[in-house]
């Protein structure tokens, strides 16, 4: 092969290499090993009759040669620069649609959970998610672009691996209950609207969204575009669900402290929080046990500072005082009384001053035996007769 020939052959081979430039470099090297040798051999065979025109006549243009080889080898068609640009754009759009969906779901969840905190951020994310949903519904083929995103492929692989686990199988059996969830979700969304807005336009909006989510559930099974409605709806509904459960749990937890209303566990008449008893001289009695006319103890609950509780009929109870020193229990009577002199006139106990020290807590006039006297003709000993 003379230098003239080799230069023209090299040009031809360069043209081929250029036409295959989008393929992996290793593959191009392999091809050029084979086909390059072929072109050189064909050129050699031509001998004196060789010219670039003759070579092109025999093998076609470098691009035509490369294209024919590409088809026979099953390589993808060459990407034109215009197509590449569209691809970049569609990848960008696909990524936006996907991540706005993710953000929308998280936002819907936290918005519901926090009863509508961070309104500005919610509006921004909500608009992005809405734009993403609009894109998915309007732009044909965007769903396919999203499915080609590396993050989606990785997620699908992870799910495929998870499909073999028992957990997934258990989860799959729940699919039959999906319609129940769709209805429940719509109810939760409507309830969320009620929780957050009371009956205003927001509530009407929530009702509309609830109806939309009802439609989106079955649709998303066959048309993946509806996931852009269905998933944020699920996020919102779960947020509402957690909020409701959380509120219930808090209420139940704080019951003994926040709501110390006496609860009658037995069928005993309701009793006041505390009862102070005085003898005829106005001396307070301690450790008095109270019974009703049937001999049933007038039991009532009592809660101390440490959270310990008592349920009996012994009065008066120590007072539970909360002040700057914290919680402490104070025994005795917080007031003194003046006993009436005339046995028939009842003078209401006159609160004088909270002087607990004045009381006779050391006394042990205890038993529920007959009080030595009283203002009214009260019954004497109550013997539990039944």
- Calpha distance 258→243 (Å, rounded): 20
Distances in Å between the Cα of 316 and the Cα atoms of 270, 277, 313, 339 are 16, 8, 9, 19
Q: Which lies closer to other proteins via its Cβ, residue 70 or residue 314? A: 70
Tokens of 205: 């909006």
The count of other CB atoms within 10 Å of the CB of residue 37 is: 10
**Which residue lies nearer to other proteins by CB, 75 or 278?**
75
Query: Under the criterion CB under 8 A, does residue 54 sit at the interface with other proteins?
Result: no
Half-sphere exposure of 179 (CA within 13 A, CB side): 1
Question: What is the nearest approach in angstroms of other proteins to the Cβ of residue 72?
Answer: 3
Instruction: Tell whether residue 195 is a contact of other proteins (CB under 8 A).
Output: no
**Judged by CB, which is closer to other proteins: 73, or 134?**
73
- Residue 6 or 367: which CB sits closer to other proteins? 6
44 belongs to the binding site for other proteins (CB under 8 A):
yes
Q: Does 1 bind other proteins (CB under 8 A)?
A: yes
Nearer of residues 24 and 295 to other proteins, judged by Cβ: 24
Among candidates 54, 60, 219, 204, which has minimal Cα distance to 136?
219
Cβ 363 vs Cβ 345: under 8 Å: no
Q: Can you tell me whether residue 283 is helix, strand or coil?
A: coil
70 part of the interface to other proteins, by CB under 8 A: yes
Identify the residue among 4, 7, 60, 282 touching other proteins (CB under 8 A): 60
Query: Is 74 one of the binding residues for other proteins (CB under 8 A)?
Result: yes
In whole angstroms, the minimum distance from the beta carbon of 29 to other proteins comes to 11
Query: Could you give the count of Cα atoms lying within 13 Å of 167 in the half-sphere of its Cβ?
Result: 4
The minimum distance between CB 39 and other proteins, in angstroms, equals: 9
In the bound state with other proteins, the residue whose beta carbon lies nearer, of 44 and 151, is 44
Q: For tokens 């046990």, what's the residue?
A: 289
Q: Which two tokens stand for residue 1?
A: 């092969």
Interacting positions 11-40 with other proteins (CB under 8 A): 27, 30-31, 33-38, 40
Q: Per rule CB under 8 A, is residue 76 in the interface with other proteins?
A: no
* 66 in contact with other proteins (CB under 8 A): yes
* Gap between the Cα atoms of 374 and 365, Å rounded: 15
Across 55-206, the runs of DSSP E, i.e. the strands, are: none
Residues at the interface with other proteins (CB under 8 A): 1, 27, 30-31, 33-38, 40-42, 44, 59-60, 64-74
């Amino acid at each position: 092969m003379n230098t003239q020939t080799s230069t023209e052959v090299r040009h031809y081979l360069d043209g081929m290499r250029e036409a295959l430039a989008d393929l992996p470099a290793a593959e191009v090297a392999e091809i050029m090993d084979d086909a390059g040798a072929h072109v050189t051999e064909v050129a050699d065979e031509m001998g004196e009759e060789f010219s670039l025109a003759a070579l092109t006549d025999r093998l076609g243009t470098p691009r035509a040669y490369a294209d024919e080889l590409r088809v026979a080898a099953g390589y993808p068609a060459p990407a034109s620069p215009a197509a590449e640009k569209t691809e970049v754009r569609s990848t960008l759009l696909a990524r936006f649609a996907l991540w706005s969906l993710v953000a929308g779901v998280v936002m819907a969840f936290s918005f519901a959970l926090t009863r509508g905190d961070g309104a500005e951020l919610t509006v921004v994310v909500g608009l992005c998610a809405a734009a993403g949903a609009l894109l998915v519904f309007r732009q044909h083929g965007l769903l396919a672009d999203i499915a080609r995103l590396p993050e989606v492929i990785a997620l699908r692989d992870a799910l495929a691996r998870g499909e073999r686990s028992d957990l997934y199988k258990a989860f799959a059996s729940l699919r039959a209950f999906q319609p129940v969830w769709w209805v429940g979700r719509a109810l939760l969304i409507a309830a969320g609207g009620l929780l957050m807005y009371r009956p205003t336009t927001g509530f009407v909006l929530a009702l509309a969204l609830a109806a939309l989510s009802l439609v989106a559930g079955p649709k998303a099974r066959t048309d993946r575009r509806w996931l852009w409605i269905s998933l944020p709806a699920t996020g919102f509904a779960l947020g509402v669900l957690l909020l409701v459960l959380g509120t219930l749990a808090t209420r139940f937890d704080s019951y003994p402290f926040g709501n110390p209303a006496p609860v009658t566990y037995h069928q005993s008449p309701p009793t006041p929080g505390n009862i102070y008893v005085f003898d005829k001289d106005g001396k307070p009695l301690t450790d008095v046990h109270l019974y009703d006319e049937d001999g049933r103890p007038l039991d009532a609950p009592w809660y101390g500072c440490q959270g310990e509780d008592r349920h009996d009929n012994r009065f008066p109870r120590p007072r539970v005082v909360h002040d700057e020193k914290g919680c402490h229990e104070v025994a005795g009577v917080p007031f003194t009384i003046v006993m009436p002199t005339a046995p028939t006139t009842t003078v209401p106990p006159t609160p004088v001053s909270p002087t607990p020290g004045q009381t006779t807590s050391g006394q042990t006039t205890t038993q529920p035996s007959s009080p030595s006297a009283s203002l009214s003709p009260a019954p004497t000993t109550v013997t539990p007769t039944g």
